[in-house]
A and B are shown apart, each in its own frame.
Chain A
Amino acid sequence: MAKKEKYLTGLFGLENLHEIEVYLQNGGYEAAKKAVKSMKPEEILKEVKAANLRGRGGAGFPAGVKWGFVPPTADKPKYLCVNADEGEPGTFKDKYIMSHNPHLLLEGIIITSYCVGIHQAFIYIRGEYEMIARRLEKAIDEAKTKGFLGKNIFGSQFALEVVVHRGAGAYICGEETALLESLEGKRGHPRLKPPFPASVGLFQCPTVINNVETIANVPFIIARGAEWFTQMGLPQDGGTRIFGVSGPVKKPGIYELPLGTSLRELIFNHAGGMLEGKELKAVIPGGMSAPILTADEIDISLDFESLKNAGSMLGSGAVIVIDKETSMLDVLQVVTKFYAHESCGQCTPCRVGVSWINKIVQRMAAGQGSPEDLETISRLASAIMGKTLCPLGDAAAMPILGIVEKFKDELLAQMGH
């Protein structure tokens, strides 16, 4: 693969990068200025489509295609929702973008909104990121003062307002339609699709929803061009990803690497390998909802297709490393507890199914399990899949199935069989 460049995180070490003067000194807002003053919205869309910028929240849907779904009609306002809910366990990358370089995000928002014809954008940020929300609000004020937000941006006719909107502790609100419901002041219940948010979204108006990292890529695509973007990473999967590594490794943290980097390289080269005395047993490659890989499966390219073919997913790029001393029953218990806690409760399979599995696993963890329980869990997890109103059902079922299938012997041993 071609050039390896840390364009997103390269400046993170700069002191006070979150202040607009520092950001401007380092080329900040040039791309937005270029977009708003000298490009037409169609040109921007063309560029983003040509770059094939895929969503970095988990689903990997091409952003340009998503923007293109928004109807050109002018009878209703259009909205942009930046998904900063970052609830997928193991994920912490967006936190870095927003706290170290909030203006990068704002610049991406300006270009995206200008392209789609949006005049009000919301950053839906998880409630726990209160400090980061305050930093974003400060950055917005700074940008407004400079004339980069508000009316007549960069002296043009384009107007845009950005509002920081806090969530309040619900993983499900990272799902795009639940996010919309939450933003509208309701319970975070996902909506039926169709209709899709591009036609019926926030306040029933056409809406684009993108992850923080996805939007953060936009200024670079505009500044350097789609071709530059596609030359990094893999064909059809350009640019970098900010991978997160956590667990018993020497250097847990974020690592910006091109798509196509191998999982082994990420863990053992960049994250420093296992802690002293720890041996690798398993890896969750894309946030908790990505099915687990065993230690022999880590020679795999970190990209959408490869992981999908291996029965897992790239997801949010959050790699969780598990060592040999960790009990897989403990892992399973943490996983089922999480999804049971976060299920919104709307649809039968998730509400009852995930809770039922959790009850069985908690019983197993308390020493009252039996081999039949593993069969039941697998049966239930398979039964839930594909039947739920939103992807949380699958997100719960697949990891559970993965752990039970790949670590059956260990689980049985831990239950005394």
Chain B
Amino acid sequence: MTSLSPETRKKITELTGKYPQKQAALLPVLHLIQNEIGYIPAEAEIWVAELLGLQPVRVKEVITFYTMFLEKPIGRYHLQVCTNLSCTLAGARNILSYLMNKLGIKPGETTADGRFTLTTVECLGACEHAPCMMVNFDYYEHLTPEKIDKILDGLE
């Protein structure tokens, strides 16, 4: 995995030592890889498997189970709009429509310039500030169309 930075490799090595069983480091290691590369490429699946003494299929089983792990690259900014109950009560559907119209894409798609990927997600734990969305790891709350315009403008 030559594409991983030395700092990430260092963190990965530290991680594998923190757990009594190496397999337990799988999710944290996958997070580190995805945080750097943006997704988890097939060669990384094999590399991680070998690192932790697992078969690649065990790694892929985990990646496909958890919503946050991606096997394909997405846009620079992952707009994850909550469509669960409190956010729906606060108008999440309108927010979603607004984004779909503004960006010209449907949930699951990426803008042509590779900037934004739009997805719908379940409860993010920010119900008191509904409607909300997560952009990569940042929470944006009390969303309105105006606020969204401002947010997106700030995301190059």
Q: Which A residues have a C-beta under 8 Å from some C-beta of B?
A: 77, 86-92, 95, 120, 126-131, 163, 165-171, 182-188, 203, 244-248, 252-254, 284, 288, 318, 320-323, 326, 330-331, 334-335, 337-338, 341-342, 344
Partner of A334 from B28, B84, B121 at Cβ < 8 Å? B84
Q: Is B46 part of the contact surface with A, judged by Cβ < 8 Å?
A: no
Contact B122 A168 (CB under 8 A): no
Contact B127 A166 (CB under 8 A): no
Contact A318 B27 (CB under 8 A): no
- Given A131-B137, A334-B85, A342-B122, the answer on whether A168 and B27 have CB atoms closer than 8 Å is yes
Contact B125 A322 (CB under 8 A): no
Contact A341 B122 (CB under 8 A): yes
**Chain B positions 64-96 with a Cβ under 8 Å from a chain A Cβ:** 65-69, 83-86, 88-90
Residue numbers in B under 8 Å from A186 (CB-CB): 23, 26, 58, 61-62
**B87 CB to closest chain A CB, in angstroms?**
9
Q: Is B124 part of the contact surface with A, judged by Cβ < 8 Å?
A: yes
Contact B68 A89 (CB under 8 A): no
Contact B125 A188 (CB under 8 A): no
Residue numbers in A under 8 Å from B124 (CB-CB): 128
Contact A187 B23 (CB under 8 A): no
Q: Is B12 part of the contact surface with A, judged by Cβ < 8 Å?
A: no
**Chain B positions 18-34 with a Cβ under 8 Å from a chain A Cβ:** 18-28, 30-31
C-alpha spacing A85/B44, complex, angstroms = 26
Residue numbers in B under 8 Å from A131 (CB-CB): 137-139
- Given A166-B28, A166-B31, A169-B66, the answer on whether A92 and B126 have CB atoms closer than 8 Å is yes
Partner of A77 from B20, B89, B128 at Cβ < 8 Å? B20
Smallest Cβ-Cβ distance to A168: which chain B residue: B66
C-alpha spacing A229/B124, complex, angstroms = 32
Can you list 15 pairs linking A and B with CB atoms under 8 Å apart?
Answer: A86-B125, A87-B122, A88-B123, A89-B84, A89-B85, A92-B128, A169-B66, A169-B67, A185-B25, A185-B52, A188-B65, A246-B89, A248-B89, A252-B86, A252-B127
Partner of B88 from A284, A318, A334 at Cβ < 8 Å? A334
Partner of B20 from A126, A170, A203, A288 at Cβ < 8 Å? A203
Smallest Cβ-Cβ distance to B30: which chain A residue: A168
**B26 CB to closest chain A CB, in angstroms?**
3
Smallest Cβ-Cβ distance to B139: which chain A residue: A131
C-alpha spacing A318/B86, complex, angstroms = 11
**A402 CB to closest chain B CB, in angstroms?**
14
Residue numbers in B under 8 Å from A335 (CB-CB): 85
Contact A89 B127 (CB under 8 A): yes
Residue numbers in B under 8 Å from A252 (CB-CB): 86, 127-130
**A341 CB to closest chain B CB, in angstroms?**
6
Contact A248 B90 (CB under 8 A): yes
- Which 8 A-B pairs rank lowest in CB-CB distance, beginning with the nearest? A169-B67, A185-B26, A168-B66, A246-B127, A169-B68, A185-B23, A89-B123, A246-B86
Residue numbers in B under 8 Å from A337 (CB-CB): 83
Residue numbers in A under 8 Å from B67 (CB-CB): 168-170
Q: Is B118 part of the contact surface with A, judged by Cβ < 8 Å?
A: no
Q: Is B143 part of the contact surface with A, judged by Cβ < 8 Å?
A: no
Smallest Cβ-Cβ distance to A77: which chain B residue: B20
Contact B128 A184 (CB under 8 A): no
Q: Is B134 part of the contact surface with A, judged by Cβ < 8 Å?
A: yes
C-alpha spacing A168/B52, complex, angstroms = 18
Contact A184 B23 (CB under 8 A): yes
Smallest Cβ-Cβ distance to B67: which chain A residue: A169
Contact B28 A253 (CB under 8 A): no
Contact A92 B62 (CB under 8 A): no
Known: A89-B85, A169-B68, A331-B85. 17 other contacts (CB 8 A): A87-B125, A90-B123, A92-B128, A126-B125, A128-B134, A165-B27, A168-B67, A183-B24, A184-B23, A185-B52, A187-B65, A252-B86, A252-B127, A322-B89, A330-B88, A338-B85, A338-B123
C-alpha spacing A392/B131, complex, angstroms = 26
Residue numbers in B under 8 Å from A342 (CB-CB): 122
Contact A185 B128 (CB under 8 A): no
C-alpha spacing A318/B67, complex, angstroms = 24
- Given A89-B85, A185-B27, the answer on whether A168 and B128 have CB atoms closer than 8 Å is no
Smallest Cβ-Cβ distance to A333: which chain B residue: B88
- Given A168-B30, A320-B89, the answer on whether A185 and B83 have CB atoms closer than 8 Å is no
Smallest Cβ-Cβ distance to B69: which chain A residue: A168
Contact B125 A91 (CB under 8 A): yes
